[in-house]
């Protein structure tokens, strides 16, 4: 047998070699579950001679799918290619692209993202004349999503809501929303799962085809499957029952998206006779990191107790650093990364946080210090206005049935087709049950359009021309045509602002992406493929490991990944755990946050740093923040808290403080943690040395103490002005366009000869006057 299986422990081998019948691997973080899955695929192909196309492996993110495909390719070579490795959602897209016509869609249906959903919902609420204060688009969409994930149809929702006025209204909205999606030949993300279940349940022959094909099914991160996903697995596996699922009940963090932890806890009931394997050795983290993880998660009640140990070295203690402000915190992290550059590459480091909003301050510090980083999630590239506009043009050219897409671009760039004309067309479309685009082509029959009629005719003509061009153009060339022929590019060029420049760069990036398709000019399906890929770019997909950049992402996106050096930022009560979970009457909400904390801690391989701020701006207001209760749950001996040792009598205080820090660890004075000593606090920081310091923002500016480290030019000592030629270490020579006196520092806008226009903080840019 191939030696690759020697690198597995006995328990992992058991999970790999038990190929027939249902198998559950329930084990803690970093115990090699994912590794066992990839080796199982190799084993099936190499030792059991299973055909690769008879194997289906489901992962949680596209990123994880790509990683698994890579690992499988490494293990079994080219054969691995025909193994079906995908997320639930992309698997469903692939299946529905073949069969959606059976359900009354055309197979080139559109996939709506969150923004599309919101636009549609707002239209529906308006049309139904519902008070937007009482019926909020987001809240309603999340109710509908929850129902869909539990496979509750709008009809069933109607029945269940009988007698309750508000629920009845929501049921009506749900019904209308479904009707509109179908009219637009569109599915939202939840539909992808729901329609696949519908397909399998109503077309047994289709189900049978896939059951025959997927003789061996493997599912990673099974603890986060929801009802619809469970149903898909169950339907596909119920004949052959060769199903292997792996997961960790302590890492179930998607309850808010309908994940149902009972799917993994009841696996043996759903698939009687299942063999259950537990992995207990962690291969990922140091002893110290693992002890911290265990220290936190053991506070959850009613969990399946698991033993998790490691042979790895003890490692450094876990750091906990409390900063004055979120800016200080971000700067402290940036500086710590920079200080450890000789032992850790940028790409070894990840900064994790609870909410996307926290990324802004972090990003600011990364930019100011010229540290390459990659933001995963947040304002996704595809959420940008200009990108969405172009995607909507493509959708209109590909499939005029997507009303929202057509409405988005009909007056972009401005064509003199105003809101009134658009609403006349919408009314006409409604009246005759036609799509918005079809109504546009019928403009001559729409009453009182006036001069807008001719404009609409022009627009329709332009789309028709693009459609005929699309037949013999690559997607890249089609994009270029759209940009030029519609005047979109010219308008941005004429604007000559930084924003328009950025937009043009983003559009270039989209064109680059299209060029990556390498499609032939006459490839009729290339456009659909492109749109599909774009719709499925999950948040975590932008993570490209070859690039040497620090990764910034939410804790949720980090699931399943690992990094040598991890920072968990914003460890503050009310932020993490979230205020909602603290206030919730349901204890399990707080437990879900604790699992999220466990996920975060266990991403770290060698070094973990926990950070928090004493004050933080939330929704424009400065709030005093308490350290997270999760910090207090960690046995104090496991934590290294700079400044904690100032408990010692005066005189020995500083010596004691520094002795608790390892070489290279941030020093109190340089990191804005000086308040530990400065306020004479005698309590261990993690046990609540917290003291509100409302005026801390004014007391000292970050730049002041940053100066010690970076020897910044003091604000005010700029020796260059607007119009001067300057040189930057990285970007080369350029001309100063603008100097703004920002709150913390001067912000300098420079047009670099090579690198283009950049906005920089004066202290860090260190521009040299030429």
Ligand X SMILES: Nc1ncnc2c1ncn2[C@@H]1O[C@H](COP(=O)(O)OP(=O)(O)OP(=O)(O)O)[C@@H](O)[C@H]1O
* Between 94 and 304, CB nearer to ligand X: 304
Task: Tell me which residues in 328-357 interact with Mg ion (CB under 5 A).
Answer: none
Backbone angles phi, psi at 584, to 5 degrees: -60, 145
Residue 32, interface with ligand X (CB under 6 A)? yes
Residue 560, interface with ligand X (CB under 6 A)? yes
30 binds, among ligand X, Mg ion, none (CB under 5 to 8 A by kind): ligand X
Least Cβ distance, residue 60 to Mg ion (angstroms): 9
Neighbours of 26 (CB within 10 A): 23
Site stretch for ligand X (CB under 6 A), options 7-15, 311-319, 619-627, 695-703: 7-15
Q: Is 611 annotated as a binding residue?
A: no
Catalytic residue numbers? 33-34, 220-221, 251, 603
Residue 30, interface with ligand X (CB under 6 A)? yes
Tokens 């207001």 -> residue:
621
Among 12, 31, 34, 59, binds Mg ion (CB under 5 A): 34
Site stretch for ligand X (CB under 6 A), options 25-33, 102-110, 366-374, 629-637: 25-33
Residue 35, interface with ligand X (CB under 6 A)? yes
Q: Is 285 annotated as a binding residue?
A: no
Dihedral (CA of 349, 639, 359, 532) sign: positive
Q: Is 29 annotated as a binding residue?
A: yes
407 binds, among Mg ion, ligand X, none (CB under 5 to 8 A by kind): none
Q: Which of 537, 85, 556 is nearest to 352 (CA)?
A: 556
Q: Is 31 annotated as a binding residue?
A: yes
- From residue 115 to residue 144, the character string flagging contacts with Mg ion as x (rule: CB under 5 A) and all else as - is ------------------------------
Tokens 């293990």 -> residue:
75
Which residue is at the shortest CB distance from ligand X? 32
Least Cβ distance, residue 189 to Mg ion (angstroms): 23
Cα–Cα distance between 375 and 187 in angstroms, integer? 28
Cα–Cα distance between 282 and 434 in angstroms, integer? 59
Q: Is 359 annotated as a binding residue?
A: no
Least Cβ distance, residue 230 to ligand X (angstroms): 19
8 binds, among ligand X, Mg ion, none (CB under 5 to 8 A by kind): ligand X
Least Cβ distance, residue 27 to ligand X (angstroms): 6
Own/partner long-range contacts of 177-182 (Cβ < 8 Å, ≥24 apart): 177/120, 177/121, 177/124, 177/144, 178/154, 180/120, 180/123, 180/124, 181/112, 181/120, 182/104, 182/105
H or E segment to which residue 41 belongs: helix 33-46
Radius of gyration of the chain (CA): 28
Residue 602, interface with Mg ion (CB under 5 A)? no
| Contact yes or no for 300/595 (Cβ under 8 A) | yes
* Between 220 and 640, CB nearer to Mg ion: 220
Pairing of strands 110-112, 243-247: unpaired
- From residue 591 to residue 620, the character string flagging contacts with ligand X as x (rule: CB under 6 A) and all else as - is -----------x------------------
557 binds, among Mg ion, ligand X, none (CB under 5 to 8 A by kind): none
- From residue 553 to residue 572, the character string flagging contacts with Mg ion as x (rule: CB under 5 A) and all else as - is -------x------------
End-to-end CA distance of the chain: 68
Dihedral (CA of 159, 164, 167, 171) sign: positive
283 binds, among ligand X, Mg ion, none (CB under 5 to 8 A by kind): ligand X
What's the per-residue H, E or C state across 199-223?
A: HHHHCHHHHHHHHHHCCEEEECCHH
| Contact yes or no for 328/666 (Cβ under 8 A) | no
Binding site for ligand X (CB under 6 A): 7-9, 12, 29-35, 248, 251, 283-284, 560, 562, 602
Annotated binding site for ATP: 27-34
């Amino acid at each position: 047998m191939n030696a690759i299986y020697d690198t597995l422990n006995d328990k992992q081998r058991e999970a790999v070699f038990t190929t027939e019948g249902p198998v559950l691997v329930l084990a803690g973080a970093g115990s090699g579950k994912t590794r066992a899955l990839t080796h199982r695929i190799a084993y099936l192909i190499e030792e059991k001679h299973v055909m690769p196309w008879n194997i289906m492996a489901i992962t949680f993110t596209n990123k994880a799918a790509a990683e698994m495909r890579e690992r499988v390719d490494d293990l079994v070579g080219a054969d691995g290619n025909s193994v079906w490795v995908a997320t639930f959602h992309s698997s469903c897209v692939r299946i529905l692209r073949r069969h959606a016509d059976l359900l009354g869609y055309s197979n080139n249906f559109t996939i709506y993202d969150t923004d599309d959903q919101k636009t549609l919902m707002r239209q529906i609420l308006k049309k139904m004349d519902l008070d937007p204060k009482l019926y909020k688009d987001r809240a309603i969409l999340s109710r509908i999503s929850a129902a869909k994930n539990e496979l509750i149809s709008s009809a069933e929702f109607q029945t269940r809501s009988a007698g309750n006025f508000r629920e009845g209204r929501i049921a009506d909205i749900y019904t209308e929303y479904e009707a509109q999606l179908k009219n637009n030949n569109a599915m939202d993300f939840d539909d992808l799962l729901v329609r696949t279940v519908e397909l399998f349940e109503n077309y047994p022959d289709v189900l049978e085809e896939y059951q025959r094909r997927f003789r061996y099914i493997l599912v990673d991160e099974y603890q986060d499957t929801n009802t619809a996903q469970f149903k898909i697995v169950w339907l596909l596996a119920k004949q052959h029952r060769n199903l292997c699922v792996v997961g960790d009940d302590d890492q179930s963090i998607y309850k808010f998206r309908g994940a149902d932890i009972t799917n993994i806890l009841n696996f043996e009931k759903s698939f009687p006779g299942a063999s259950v394997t537990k992995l207990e050795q962690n291969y990922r983290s140091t002893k110290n990191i693992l002890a911290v993880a265990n220290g936190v998660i053991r506070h959850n009640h009613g969990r399946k107790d698991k033993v998790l140990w490691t042979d790895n070295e003890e490692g450094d203690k876990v750091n906990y650093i409390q900063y004055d402000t979120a800016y200080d915190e971000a700067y402290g992290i940036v500086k710590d990364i920079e200080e450890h550059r000789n032992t850790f590459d940028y790409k070894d480091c990840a900064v994790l946080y609870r909410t996307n909003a926290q990324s802004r301050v972090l990003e600011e510090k990364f930019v100011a210090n010229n540290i390459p980083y990659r933001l995963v999630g947040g304002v996704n590239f595809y959420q940008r206005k200009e990108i969405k506009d172009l995607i909507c043009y493509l959708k209109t050219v590909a499939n005029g049935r997507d009303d929202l897409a057509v409405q988005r671009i009909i007056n972009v760039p401005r064509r003199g087709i105003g809101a009134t004309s658009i609403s006349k067309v919408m009314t006409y479309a409604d009246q005759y049950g036609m799509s918005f685009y079809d109504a546009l082509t019928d403009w001559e029959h729409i009453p009182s359009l006036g001069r807008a009629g001719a404009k609409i005719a022009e627009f329709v003509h332009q789309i028709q021309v693009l459609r005929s061009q699309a037949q013999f153009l690559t997607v890249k060339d089609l994009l270029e045509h759209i940009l030029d022929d519609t005047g979109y590019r010219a308008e941005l060029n004429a604007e000559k602002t930084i924003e328009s420049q950025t937009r043009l760069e983003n559009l270039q990036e989209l064109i680059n992406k299209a060029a990556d398709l390498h499609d032939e000019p006459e490839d009729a399906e290339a456009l659909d493929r492109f749109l599909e890929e774009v719709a499925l770019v999950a948040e975590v997909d932008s993570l490209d490991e070859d690039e040497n950049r620090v990764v910034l992402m939410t804790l949720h996106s980090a699931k399943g990944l690992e990094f040598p050096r991890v920072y968990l930022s914003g460890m503050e009560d009310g932020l993490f755990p979230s205020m909602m979970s603290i206030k919730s009457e349901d204890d399990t909400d707080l437990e879900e946050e604790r699992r999220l904390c466990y996920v975060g801690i266990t991403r770290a391989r060698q070094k973990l740093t926990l950070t928090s701020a004493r004050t933080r701006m939330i929704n424009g207001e400065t709030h005093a923040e308490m350290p997270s209760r999760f910090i207090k749950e960690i046995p104090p001996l496991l934590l290294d808290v700079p400044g904690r040792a100032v408990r010692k009598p005066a005189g020995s205080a500083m010596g004691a403080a520094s002795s608790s820090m390892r070489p290279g660890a941030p020093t109190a004075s340089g990191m804005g943690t000086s308040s530990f000593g400065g306020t004479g606090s005698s309590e261990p920081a993690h046990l609540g040395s917290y003291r509100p310091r409302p005026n801390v923002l004014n007391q000292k500016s970050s730049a002041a103490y940053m100066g010690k480290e970076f020897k910044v030019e003091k604000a005010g000592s700029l020796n260059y002005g607007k119009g001067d030629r300057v040189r930057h270490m990285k970007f080369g020579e350029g001309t100063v366009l603008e100097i703004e006196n920002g709150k913390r520092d001067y912000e300098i806008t420079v047009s670099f000869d090579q690198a283009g226009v950049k906005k920089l903080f004066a202290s860090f840019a260190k521009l040299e006057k030429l």
